[in-house]
Amino acid sequence: MALAKSAGLEIVATTRSLKKSDELIAAGATHVVVDGGIIADEVRSIYPDGIDRVPELVGTITLLDSLQATNRGILEYCTSAGYEPMPIPKTRAELTEQARSSYEKLRAELDAAGSGIAEFPCVDDWSVKDLLAVRMWWTEHVLNWVEAGRRGESPITPAPGYRWKETPRLNADVVKKNRRKSYRSIRVRLEKGFQRVMDTIDALDDRELLEVGVFPWAGKYPISRWISINTTRQYLTARTYIRRTLRENGV
């Protein structure tokens, strides 16, 4: 990592322990992603176009996920049993369908499992409820950024007091803030957030939704991409983590 840093490269470090984030930043990492089994979606929340290189040290178990994190488009030509790539949507219809499909699958998984899974360990030291609280936060806040942009404002992203490379600290604080909230209240807010996603997509015209440069805060990416990364992909990874947790607990 020191060699890459000295060469002026930006480095995304992965860890299975949220507690190691500060150590990795101190060692030279630009960003830290907590690896709960899938890293591509978290990497693309930082670099929506993907990254240039991924050292693959594990093998076939993680290969497809590692390739999905790159910007080379290789996965467009790869398939594997049980693997369902989720491309960045280029149209309103694609964005709407992907968001609806991913959320409805997550909702069905949660409904079938019942509220008893709320405190099951899920990712590192997060419970299922903690994971949903984080997903809820990103859904709500990307929509807040969009609404602020439509009012002519420039929202602070990802949140006041946090830089993008500090998303592990932000997520940890979101978990801490919501620890005393009930599982039901988190589910209700997650549901309301999804309905806001659908309403927001409908409210935006094609220029606002699909063109680059309409909202300064969004940089070189269209709003459709920001919405997809912070909703659709968040729902997909949440479902993956929860399905694994259910298997591990025999549910």
pLDDT of residue 58: 43
**Residues 112 and 223 both lie in one domain:** yes
Is residue 84 one of the residues assigned to a domain?
no
Which pLDDT tens digit goes with each residue over 204-233?
999 999 999 999 999 888 999 899 989 998
Q: Helices 183-203 and 128-150, interaxial angle, to 10°? A: 30
DSSP 197-237: HHHHHHHS-HHHHH-TTSSGGGTTS-HHHHHIIIIIHHHHH
- Look up the CATH number of the domain holding residue 70: 3.40.50.720
Number of domains in the chain: 2
**Residues 32 and 120 both lie in one domain:** no
Which pLDDT tens digit goes with each residue over 70-128?
775 433 323 333 334 556 788 999 999 999 999 999 999 999 999 999 999 998 789 99
Indicate the residue among 27, 46, 77 that finishes a domain: 77
What integer best gives the mean pLDDT of the chain? 84
Tell me the two tokens of residue 67. Answer: 């390739």
**Residues 69 and 97 both lie in one domain:** no
Domain that holds residue 45: 2-77
pLDDT of residue 196: 98
CA distance 171 to 133: 9
| 208 neighbors 150 (Cβ within 8 angstroms) | yes
**Residues 58 and 129 both lie in one domain:** no
Is residue 129 one of the residues assigned to a domain?
yes
**Residues 118 and 188 both lie in one domain:** yes
**Residues 131 and 171 both lie in one domain:** yes
Is residue 71 one of the residues assigned to a domain?
yes
**Residues 69 and 160 both lie in one domain:** no
Indicate the residue among 77, 105, 121 that finishes a domain: 77
**Residues 112 and 176 both lie in one domain:** yes
Residue 135, pLDDT > 60, answer yes
Which pLDDT tens digit goes with each residue over 26-69?
788 888 887 655 677 778 888 887 777 776 544 434 445 666 67
**Residues 191 and 218 both lie in one domain:** yes
| 68 neighbors 40 (Cβ within 8 angstroms) | yes
Token pair 């479902």 is at which residue? 239
**Residues 242 and 125 both lie in one domain:** yes
Give yes or no for a cis peptide into 158 (omega within 30° of 0).
Answer: yes
Is residue 120 one of the residues assigned to a domain?
yes
Give the CA distances from residue 161 to residues 23, 85, 139, 156, in Å, rounded to whole numbers and listed in that order.
20, 34, 19, 9
Token pair 């015209």 is at which residue? 205
Is residue 123 one of the residues assigned to a domain?
yes
| 96 neighbors 201 (Cβ within 8 angstroms) | yes
CA distance 58 to 67: 13
- Look up the CATH number of the domain holding residue 138: 1.20.120.450
Is residue 83 one of the residues assigned to a domain?
no
Number of CB atoms found within 10 A of residue 115's CB: 14
pLDDT of residue 168: 78
Q: Is the pTM of this model over 0.75?
A: no
**Residues 142 and 62 both lie in one domain:** no
| 36 neighbors 123 (Cβ within 8 angstroms) | yes
**Residues 130 and 214 both lie in one domain:** yes
- Bigger pLDDT: 246 or 165? 246
